[in-house]
Structure 1
Amino acid sequence: MNLYDTIQNRISVREYQNKNFDSMTLDKVKALLSHINPLYKDIEVRLELVHEDVKSAGMGFMNGYIKIQAPYCVAAISEKRDGYMENIGFIQEQAVLELTGMGIGSCWLGTFDNEVLRHLLKVNDNEVITNVIALGYPEEKSFRNDGLRKLLGSKRKKETEIAFYKEWGEDAAIFLDNKPLLRKILKASILAPSGGNKQPVCLVFTEDSVHFFVKNKKDNIVINPWAAIDAGIFISHFYFCCLEESIHINFYKDSSEEKFKIPSDTSYIISMKLDYKYD
């Protein structure tokens, strides 16, 4: 299964088999979680796999109003610094896609018992648990139910709603018509999950770069810091699809972000220079 197939087939698994990983699979999962590429290398992050203590800790994981009973979970623990939320989204979605390719199901969880987990995982005072992902082998009916949900809803925004050229509001269609590989990558990125399926990420293409933004403000005040996790997830899809296509990437911060004329409800995240010869 290639990356695009993995992205297409990824679902939020809400029902799991009561089955543990064998020792070889468990070792692979642990190795994967300990060797994840971050968006920002200067932010300390660790992904902790929890198994034996999930039930005894009584964490009562929930995703929205749906109770999740999974044999494992992965807690993301980060030092709290500028950019740590999008960094976590980038890291954990990378793990989710790798695990999906291994046949392991997952689900981003809406709530969890923070105090229980802090004690269980010995979280330091300068660290925060940003989120938790349920993990395990999916029940067959979970695939059926999620397929039905996809047919009934889970609509994705159109390319024209999120992708612009040179500045906000300028249609990127002609630019992308001439860059079919970038359009392919964009379509895979649009499939990235987001909290409440709100899909808050937008991007602006320039000739050799793509610039990422997230809608998270009201009256120039950030009212939804969690949207930065969604941004990290989206950027993860875009980045790893670029690597799949042998496009070399350099991340950077654009010091003249005002040139993009972004609206007041939107924050700039990061830019990505693309070293790639277009067709």
Structure 2
Amino acid sequence: MKSIMEIIKKRKSVRTYESKKLSEDDCDKIREYINNKENRIGMFGTEIRLELIFADENESGKGLKIGTYGIIVNPQAYIAGCVDNTLSNMVEFGYVMEKMILFLTDLGLGTCWLGGTFDRKLLNNEISLEEGEIIPSITPVGYPKNKEGIKQKAMRILVKADQRLPWKDLFYLYDFSLPMHKTIEGILNEPLEMVRIGPSASNKQPWRVLISEDKSIYEFYLKRTPNYAANPMGFDLQRIDL
């Protein structure tokens, strides 16, 4: 069993998958995970609904197409998260979805956070939403293909998928005028590095962490990217990143 930090380091966005169905064993493990209520509860007690949808099984019988605009190739399934659209629920949603994605990573499966590059109307044909519920994000699921296509490589470059902001731009000591570096003693270096390399929409990394003078309190703040808060999808995308 890998440590959570090993899994976080291993995780990356996968956009091209093998044309190979998920094994029964992997399907069973996924179902067991999402059916366990404990796995769907956020840090503050909100329950997130998780739905597994196979790409070759849908109402039309023609294979699920949700308009990923060629960005995702050969997905074998999708997992969608459903939750009431409130500000606090977006934070809870991000926690539950990322925890699940790390579980899938540990199984050797590929995933990719999708928030704005799929057609919600098409997906709504497959999932019955309760009043007030939305689908903020989904992930494709499949076995990663070693070689990506030109379009997928271009997407990784466009969103700077392999780049992350340095420590001095994310973490601060005492106040936001004192950027922090790894060399400072008494801080949680490894957990902070896991925060730094985490995924975010368009790789904007909108989180900032302020550490108290005695290094015992770590406060998370949201530094908004212009035009992200008022996105046309009707929910606060960057709260999910937080």
TM range (shorter): 0.7 to 0.9
2:58 to 32, 53, 61: 53
Closer/same/farther in 2, CA of residues 229 and 68 from structure 1, 3 Å limit: farther
- Give the match for residue 184 of structure 2: 177
TM-score, length-normalised on structure 2?
Answer: 0.81
Aligned to 1:7, the other structure's residue is in SS state helix
Match of 1:258 in 2: none
> TM-score normalized by structure 1?
0.71
Find the residue that maps to 1:120 and give its secondary structure: coil
Q: When the two structures are aligned, how many residues end up with a matched partner?
A: 221
Could you say if the C-alpha distance between residues 84 and 113 of structure 1 is closer, same or farther in structure 2, counting changes exceeding 3 Å?
same
CA distance in 2 between counterparts of 1:123 and 1:15 reads 29
Greater per-residue strand proportion: 1
CA distance in 1, matches of 2:35, 2:95: 14
| 1:125 positional shift | 1.8
Match of 1:100 in 2: 105
Aligned residue for 1:48, secondary structure, equals: strand
Higher deviation after alignment, 107-116 or 72-81: 107-116
Choose between structure 1 and 2: higher helix proportion: 1
Confirm or deny that 1:227 pairs with 2:238.
yes
User: Which residue in the other structure is 2:167 paired with?
Assistant: 159
Name the CA distance, whole Å, in 1 between partners of 2:131 and 2:230: 24
Q: Within the alignment, does 1:135 sit opposite 2:135 as a pair?
A: no
Query: How far apart in 2 are the matches of 1:45 and 1:205?
Result: 30
* SS of match in other structure, 2:104: helix
2:43 match: 39
Specify the alignment match of 1:91 in structure 2. 96
- Residue number in structure 2 paired with 1:241: none
Question: How far did 1:69 drift?
Answer: 3.0
Gaps of 5+ in 1: 232-279
Unaligned stretches of 5+ residues in structure 2: none
RMSD: 2.8
Alpha-carbon distance change, 13 to 123 in structure 1, aligned in 2, over 3 angstroms: same
How many percent of aligned residue pairs carry the same amino acid? 26
Question: Which letter does structure 2 place at the counterpart of 1:171?
Answer: P
Counterpart pick for 2:124 among 118, 128, 151: 118
For 1:172 and 1:138, the matched residues in 2 are separated by: 36
